A and B are shown apart, each in its own frame.
Chain A
Amino acid sequence: MRWMRTLLANGTTAQAALLVALFAAGLALGLTVQTAEAAENSRVYVPKPPKGKGDKCMEDTKFMRANHMNLLKHQRDETMHNGIRTKKHSLKECVACHTVPGNDGQAVSYEDPKNFCRQCHDYAAVKLDCFECHASKPPKGQAKIHPNAKNAYRVSGGLPQ
């Protein structure tokens, strides 16, 4: 916080204005987050994709939400060009773990809106390009589905069918 005090001490009007703006932005962000939480019980659709088959992801959820694309992109280049095939950040492992069962109990592919990745990507209207080429579900018989995954539709407001 020292920088803030310094800034306030030496600050010109412009700097002070900037600070106020930053504060306001932070407040607004906080409010948004709160609103999002409140939306759980509202009729607004909020994606809440099911858990993966393991106990926990290799990074925490918050980090993954913000950074999964960077991890995947980094890993993709490492694997493609250098042949590094560690499992930690591999898309194959993501897909193997985050399976969602369809009506037949088998893992659904990316064509199904229940697909783990699609739930948020549809919500955020972000193009999901991986599965144009990559398999979006584990090979038949190899999918292990976490019991929690049955709650695929445990989403406030329900999934648009």
Chain B
Amino acid sequence: MTTPDKQTNTTNRRNFLGQSAALAAGITLAPGVTLYGVAQAKAPEDAVTAKVRWGMLIDANRCADGCNDCVSACNSENGLKGHGRPETDAQWIRKVNLRDPNTGAKQSLPVLCQHCSEPPCVDVCPTGASFKRKDGIVLVDKHICIGCRYCMMACPYKARSFIHETVTDQKPHAPRGKGTVESCTFCVHRVDAGGQPACVEACSKTSAALTFGDMNDPKSNISKALAEYPSSRIRADLGTDPGVRYRGL
């Protein structure tokens, strides 16, 4: 049992530490524009915990129609190469253009794996290859993926791709091979090292429509942004509780 006093003290100290860390990690580019690294890096030997839930906020109002920077960044980061066969080529993130047929209003926004807290792909996977890390990142364990594609049938977001051909020259941090299913990893190799996903980094140079961070940490940029304005989830009706949120949808 802790006394209320003690609790306040701890909170204050944590706040203070958090702020100092933010100050230390943040680089002020111009007045009002600050580039933040993501919280403190996890030590390599530390296991991920459920104290963190990684999430992404996509501001559709800022996302420029015709801009494809997040997609190119993802492809080069993860070594995704097209084979001139759009129907079978892998896409981890894609730009979707929306048009309201009644009003004619247009929007453009990226769709990627939504890293649901109740992911249908994880529910249906027969071997448990499709799984959710404690910190909310949904991944495919390609070591035990048998390539049945049931997760692709189950995903409401069309977020997954099947690798239709032999892959060579993979990136060391992004293993991928024929006959297994894959999707956005939130650039888990970067996140584990305290970095940000490649798409977020690329976007920050142009539109700054993407915010990445720990949604469980009230001090993180994403939590503050989510608290400030309403946001929405794609197909919220399905109850999958995505970790990717949209503003201005």
Which chain B residues lie closer than 8 Å to A87 at the CB level? Answer: 44
**Is B87 interfacial (CB-CB < 8 Å)?**
no
A133 touches B48 (CB 8 A): no
**Is A92 interfacial (CB-CB < 8 Å)?**
yes
**Is B46 interfacial (CB-CB < 8 Å)?**
yes
B44 touches A84 (CB 8 A): yes
Secondary structure dominating the interface of B: loop
**Is A76 interfacial (CB-CB < 8 Å)?**
yes
B133 touches A133 (CB 8 A): no
B188 touches A133 (CB 8 A): no
B172 touches A109 (CB 8 A): no
A85 CB contact (under 8 Å) in B44, B139, B169, B176: B44
A82 CB contact (under 8 Å) in B48, B142, B172: B48
Closest chain B residue, CB of each to CB of A132: B177
B-binding segment of A4-12, A45-53, A114-122, A134-142: A134-142
How many whole Å from B147's CB to the nearest CB in chain A? 11
**Is B81 interfacial (CB-CB < 8 Å)?**
no
B139 CB contact (under 8 Å) in A80, A109, A132: A80
B188 touches A83 (CB 8 A): yes
B143 touches A83 (CB 8 A): no
B170 touches A83 (CB 8 A): no
CA distance A87 to B135 in the complex (A): 21
B135 touches A83 (CB 8 A): yes
A84 CB contact (under 8 Å) in B46, B131, B178, B189: B46
Which chain B residues lie closer than 8 Å to A97 at the CB level? Answer: none
A92 touches B48 (CB 8 A): no
Given contacts A81-B131, A81-B141, A83-B133, contact A135 B177 (CB under 8 A): no
How many whole Å from B128's CB to the nearest CB in chain A? 10
**Is B167 interfacial (CB-CB < 8 Å)?**
yes
How many whole Å from B66's CB to the nearest CB in chain A? 31
B172 touches A133 (CB 8 A): no
**Is A103 interfacial (CB-CB < 8 Å)?**
no
CA distance A49 to B73 in the complex (A): 38
How many whole Å from A1's CB to the nearest CB in chain B? 41
Closest chain A residue, CB of each to CB of B131: A81
CA distance A111 to B189 in the complex (A): 26
How many whole Å from A60's CB to the nearest CB in chain B? 23
Size range of the chain B interface in the assembly: 20 to 34
**Is A100 interfacial (CB-CB < 8 Å)?**
no
B48 touches A135 (CB 8 A): no
A133 CB contact (under 8 Å) in B135, B139, B173, B180: B180
Interface residues of B in 83-116 (CB under 8 A from A): none
Which chain B residues lie closer than 8 Å to A81 at the CB level? Answer: 131, 133, 141
Which chain B residues lie closer than 8 Å to A139 at the CB level? Answer: 171-172
B47 touches A135 (CB 8 A): no
**Is B175 interfacial (CB-CB < 8 Å)?**
yes
Which chain B residues lie closer than 8 Å to A135 at the CB level? Answer: 169-172, 175
CA distance A138 to B189 in the complex (A): 16
A86 touches B172 (CB 8 A): no
Which chain A residues lie closer than 8 Å to B168 at the CB level? Answer: 109, 111
Interface string of B108-151 (1 = CB under 8 A from A): 00000000000000000000000101110001011100000000
Report which B residues bind A (CB closer than 8 A): 42, 44-48, 131, 133-135, 139, 141-143, 167-173, 175-180, 188-189, 192-193
Q: Which 9 A-B pairs have the closest CB atoms?
A: A133-B177, A82-B47, A132-B177, A83-B48, A133-B175, A135-B172, A85-B44, A134-B175, A135-B170
A-B contact pairs, 11 of them (CB 8 A): A83-B47, A83-B48, A83-B133, A83-B192, A84-B45, A84-B46, A85-B44, A86-B45, A109-B169, A133-B180, A134-B177
Given A86-B45, A95-B172, A133-B142; 8 other pairs, CB 8 A cutoff: A80-B143, A81-B131, A83-B188, A83-B192, A85-B44, A92-B173, A135-B169, A139-B172
